[in-house]
Amino acid sequence: MPLELRAGSTIILGPQIGSNLIVHLEQPLMPLEVENLKHGLAAVYIEGIIEYTDIFKKAHTTYSRFMHHANNGKIGTSTALVFCPEGNYGD
């Protein structure tokens, strides 16, 4: 069963354990925004920061950027996200 998280939450994950984050827009997309998404003229970006301490008590931070774009599946039915070419780094 996937674990659902809310922004700003703290959990402990063991090795090879995944989690999901459900993201809600503050307001629905406007019709023009939806059309631009469908035609590949726009994308939805999700950025995240993961802060953790490893087994040796060393702190790490990982930055991730994902996008939802017409190339990744049908807009409005697919919720697939892919990594962006930039914005993904960590120590």
Tell me the whole-structure pTM to 2 decimals.
Answer: 0.64
21-44: buried (b, 16+ CB within 10 Å) or exposed (e) per residue? eeeeeeeeeeeeeeebbeeeebbb
Tens of pLDDT along the chain (91 residues)? 344 555 566 667 777 777 666 777 788 888 998 889 888 888 888 888 888 888 899 999 999 998 888 776 666 666 677 888 888 888 8
Q: Which residue is listed with tokens 């939805």?
A: 44
Domain ranges of the chain: 20-90
